[in-house]
A and B are shown apart, each in its own frame.
Chain A
Amino acid sequence: MTRAIVSGFLAVLVLAAPLAAGAQDERQFDAKTFTLANGLEVVVIENHRAPIVTQMVWYKVGAADEPRGKTGIAHFLEHLMFKGTKETPPGVFSRIIAQNGGRENAFTTADYTAFFQNVAADRLELVMKLESERMTGLVLNDAVVLPERDVIIEERHTRIDNNPAALLNEQLNTALYLHHPYRNPVIGWEQEMRGLTTDDALTFYHTWYAPNNAVLVVAGDVTVDEVRALAEKYYGPLQAHPVPARHRVGEPPKVAAARLVMKSSRVGEPSWSRNYLAPSYTAGEKQYAYALQVLAEVLGGGSTARLYRTLVLDKGVALDAGAFYNPGALDLTTFGFYATPKKDVPLSDLEAAFEAVIKSVLADGVNAEDVERAKKRMRAQAVYARDSLDGPARIVGAALANGRNLDDVETWPQHIGAVTVDEVNAAARLVIHEDTAVTGVLLPEPTS
């Protein structure tokens, strides 16, 4: 088991897949919500398929809210949240969860930090008690903090430094985001991680962790009334305190394209990507967020999508090609394409073929039939999002942690269904500008 970070790239996977959610014409999860007097938002997703529950607490703070020079502190604090409270000494939290047959973990992104336990339904009270204690009662000292700092540095080595593609991706973000903190890796820059202290963690904790800056999601075999009673009992007494507004610095206008090339003997196969800044559900020209999801599906959603058909099947310049888009970011997000060039095909041929597709999309628009098929497929996929305990909890929690409202989440299929071909074309023209794109090239270098 791992306490995990979700880097920018992983966030795409985490968010993009479950966001394909929602039934045809009804409220997808039928989630209920209420707010405690101290400001804690509570969401209940009843699911009586099995006598199990998941509790998730989402804090509306992530790596993009870190003080300058302290990259990694949001994720470090996530690890340290397992180090004990006044009531529960270090190590005891996880032991109690395990003794009760529970599974637990946590993850951090640029925008939020979340903690969860999956347990038998009759153990909900126990995990609510434990989780509420650490919302305001965390106790830290160097004896538990310093070994954990070594752990997160090893985590960085595992996830990033040992992986050339992750290293290049990290640097590509700095080219895409000139100023906004999304340019920093969620796990942190190593030289700053090495300097993080117990005080840094506690300061960040006391600034951001509060009932009025959190969302509690309980999904599974419970009722709203049961959750309300337990939430009042355990989270209700916690004191609210003022939390800073999340005002991240904005991006200056982009005027230049960037191209980052990394050659390494640790690379086995070349790969290529091209990224653009894009609106999200909550930033920029957000009315295009749904159309951009359809665009990503039409151009790069699999082996029948336009890029795969053209680059892999028709022109034979690539082994793989696709697109990705994460509308769930709080601020301007990334719309991107990737491809693996076919052996012995010059990268310039691949890029020329890609640009021809894009040129045609921008000039002539996407194929109307492709749009209809993509929409139908996305809406049909929605039912699968309900086929698990914590999938719906994650979708709803991530949205509310970024200040979105429940209705938007519940009616995702209808929003996708309403997207028109014209909107998809307008979205493409809004986002895809080759003169300010960020291109990443990863190349093998023969070993000596």
Chain B
Amino acid sequence: MSGIARMIRTLAAAALLACLIAAPASAANKIEEVTSAAGITAWLVEDHSLPVVTMDVSFRGGAALDPADKAGLATLTADLLDEGAGELDSQAYQGRLEDLATSIEFAASEDAMGASLRTITANLAPALDLLRLGLTEPRFDDVAVARVRSQLLAELARNAREPRYIASRLWWRNVYDGHPYAQPVRGTPETIGRITTPDLRSVVHDRFGRDVMIIGVVGDVTADALKSMLDTTFGSLPPHAAAGKVADVTAAAKKPLLLAKLPIPQSVVTFGQPGIKRDDHDWYAAYVVNHILGGGGFSSRLTTEVREKRGLAYSVYSELEPMQHSGVILGGVATQNDRVAQSIDIIRAEWRRMRDSGPTQKELDDAKTYLTGSFPLSLDSTGHIAGILVAIQRDALGIDYLERRKTLIESVTLDDAKRVARRLLDPDKLSFVVVGSPDKLGGAQEVAPNGS
């Protein structure tokens, strides 16, 4: 049986009621903590059913560390790490990746930078060498910097007309004014224009420290082989990151309802309110409550009321979005211009109804069977599992988390759910941003799409 099979069999056994006799084996022997001679640690799930290896590496600290006048610095840096490194210029590096049938994607988010590598087993060592080069010796050749900068500027120009991007940007600005979370992860034309090559080098120098590094590996590699590869790949990184700190912050909308007028047939709406961080003691109850309110599937209250009963929208959702230094509950809907006010009223009413009465026992039971039973389905590829290995380490959930997850969700009682709905949901703190040409939207404060 493959490593993935063993791990998922454990999960499935844990997740599905009364259908498997096998006692759940310990997940700890499925996810292995591997520590190299130089002290570099990775989590590994061995699976030899395909000659494929996926590695996710993540460094704590992302776009929120970018200086306000250089927002997008982490993004532009990440976009340039595969544009030439060591002796290889951009074309040579890209050609080498292609010849190795390897992909390495460097990316930045609010709270992290990282890379996701996928290769066939036979090419693992040279693929990891390209990863090492990208993280330690990126060239930042002038011609590549100019090209990638202009590509990013073009993307930002496209985004500036894109209703969903506009709504999202305005919402985050409205809620985190004065904090780095208000800055766009991919920057603005002005801030991207200010970034210099020394700035890019400082990101590599300051942020890729071994103390903030998290590694997840899945696939056709043994622990012993991985150990030495960890040292050759990451051993030359500095032991400590030298980046600054980001302050904790509570989301607080300055305006309850913003409107950016755009001549489009359908209004796009982003909404949300303050949420919780991943380490909140009420996390699992909040997770279940949100699933019932606006989570996945066709059966959430928001989908039932907005889509199924009234046909107001194709999609409506809410989700918990925890960050390192704050948390929000964030949602979205896109609806015809003359029914925006109605959609907003329904969302507010559902928010209030859940806050006041919580879910029913039946809703709670259904949500728990879905959330526990569907989880193993997301562990079907090396890439999905590698991402989860990184997330579990990032959130300090423990190497046995996959085994405990089911119990954590199932132990949420109706009283917990009602209490947390009351604690967390606050229709008065729910703020909306509408982009489009809605009819009769009372109380909206109009802003330009660029926020001015």
Contact = CB atoms under 8 A, between A and B. Distances in A.
Contacts of A389: 377, 380-381
A51 B5 contact: yes
B161 A267 contact: yes
A162 B162 CA distance: 8
Interface in A220-242: none
B161 A162 contact: no
A2 B9 CA distance: 28
Interface stretch (B149-157, B194-202, B322-330): B149-157
A74 B34 CA distance: 52
B307 A151 contact: yes
A87 interface: no
Contacts of B8: 49-52
Nearest to B150: A319
Given A52-B12, A100-B369, A266 B263 contact: yes
B391 interface: no
Contact of B376 (A52, A302, A303): A52
Contact of B12 (A51, A380, A384): A51
B266 A268 contact: no
Contact of B265 (A100, A155, A157, A302): A157
Interface residues of B, number: 73
Contact of B19 (A103, A122, A377, A381): A122
B154 A49 contact: no
A173 to B, nearest CB: 20
Contact of B314 (A2, A52, A94, A312): A2
A269 interface: yes
Contacts of A100: 369, 373
Contacts of A52: 8, 12, 376-377, 380
B133 to A, nearest CB: 17
Contacts of B369: 98-101
B5 A158 contact: no
Interface in B37-57: 47, 49-52
Interface stretch (B66-74, B91-99, B109-117, B251-259): B91-99
Contacts of A152: 314
Contacts of B366: 95, 98-99
A157 B8 CA distance: 40
B310 interface: yes
A147 B379 contact: no
A103 B298 CA distance: 10
Nearest to A48: B5
Interface residues of A, number: 65
A271 to B, nearest CB: 9
Given A122-B19, A320-B151, A162 B373 contact: no
Contacts of B90: 303
B329 to A, nearest CB: 18
Interface in A89-126: 91, 94-95, 98-103, 118-120, 122
Contact of B101 (A51, A95, A381): A381
A43 B443 CA distance: 57
A383 B315 contact: no
Interface in B1-36: 1-2, 4-5, 8-9, 12, 15-16, 19-20
Contacts of B336: 153-154, 157
A94 B151 CA distance: 42
Contacts of B47: 49
B305 to A, nearest CB: 11
B50 A120 contact: no
Given A377-B99, A384-B52, A158 B314 contact: yes
A309 interface: yes
B16 A120 contact: yes
Which of A1, A154, A269 has the most B CB atoms < 10 Å from its CB? Answer: A154
Interface of A: 1-2, 48-52, 82, 91, 94-95, 98-103, 118-120, 122, 146-155, 157-158, 161-162, 164, 265-269, 302-304, 309, 312-313, 319-320, 340, 342-343, 373, 376-377, 380-381, 383-384, 386-390, 444
CB-CB nearest 4 A-B residue pairs = A101-B373, A150-B311, A380-B101, A157-B266
19 contacts: A1-B296, A49-B4, A50-B8, A91-B298, A94-B297, A98-B297, A99-B369, A101-B372, A154-B313, A162-B265, A162-B266, A268-B160, A304-B95, A304-B98, A319-B151, A319-B154, A343-B150, A388-B381, A444-B161
Given A49-B8, A120-B373, 9 more contacts: A1-B297, A50-B380, A153-B336, A158-B266, A304-B98, A312-B147, A313-B91, A377-B99, A389-B381
